[in-house]
Amino acid sequence: MSSTRSKIFIACTLASSLAISACSNSNNDEKKQNTLTASAPATGEASNLSERNTQQRLINTLQQHFKKANINAKVLDIKVTEVPNLYWVNLEGMSSVYATADGKYIIQGDVLRLGDSKIHNVSENLQSAANKKLLADLKTEDLLVYKAQGKTQHIVYVFTDASCPYCHKLHEHMSEINAKGIEVRYIAWPRGEQFMPAMESVWCSADRQAAFNQAIAGAPLPPATCKNPVRAQYQLGLNMGVNGTPAIYNEEGVYLGGYLSPDELVQRLNN
């Protein structure tokens, strides 16, 4: 998948340029250097000027490191996490990462807290807040929408690909999902460049639903002949951390899962 190759390339580039280690801590001798240290505990929200200044210095440090390593990534936002001296970094053009307070190390992937009956994803609330804004900016005319039957109880956003077997399986239950009061908004997310033309053809069709039904059944479609948002939607998925389809989100930007049966989907939404 192109997203996987992209992540591997970024990880390898950063590893060679910034000496990344997924479980690294700064050595004592590194304190001799002009590094950044969080001046307030990581409590989940920057609440004073000192902390905001620390975050701004961290942004500047990360941007300098990215530029030096020829990495085209822009820091959009930084927030403290519950882990001391570990920050959540929202990036433009790639999935969010974690960064140490000195800006020397970044971590790709999830940081999980143990100790409770359920494993807690440290960045879940931070990521979902960013996702919510991105999803809210989407125009419904750029999506493939299946409206709820009767009163709309929930709206979900689903990154989908016509070539994906589990997307096909989910789509087979569309009538049942809609009957449960759930509106489904499909976002195009071709899993590779070879699948891009089919999704562009769907989005360029006068009747997108009919075209998607045809494409997901494996039938060929005429080549795309319009300006379409498919590549932009693919990039949106990368920004949100999508790495496979289907990927289902609620309106709050919370990731609900991949393939879910109608009953499982209702349960996740109600929880």
Q: Determine the number of helices (DSSP H) and then strands (DSSP E) in the chain.
A: 9, 11
Residue of 102, 185, 191, 204 marked active site = 191
Contact 91, 74 (CB under 8 A): yes
CA dihedral of residues 61, 63, 69, 73 (deg, nearest 10): 150
Q: Residue 110 catalytic?
A: no
Residue of 29, 113, 137, 167 marked active site = 167
Q: Residue 191 catalytic?
A: yes
Residue of 164, 226, 231, 263 marked active site = 164
Side chain identity, residue 25: N
Backbone angles phi, psi at 59, to 5 degrees: -55, -50
Q: Residue 113 catalytic?
A: no
Contact 188, 234 (CB under 8 A): yes
| 3-state class percentages of the chain: helix first, strand second, coil last, to nearest 5 | 40, 20, 40
Beta strands 97-100 and 106-107 are antiparallel
Residue of 102, 161, 185, 204 marked active site = 161
Contact 154, 183 (CB under 8 A): yes
Name the DSSP class of 16.
H
Calculate ∠ Cα 110-111-117, nearest 5°: 110
Side chain identity, residue 169: K
Q: Is residue 161 helix, strand or coil?
A: coil
The closest alpha carbon to 1, from 244, 186, 218, belongs to 244
Q: Residue 5 catalytic?
A: no
Q: Which residues are catalytic?
A: 161, 164, 167, 191
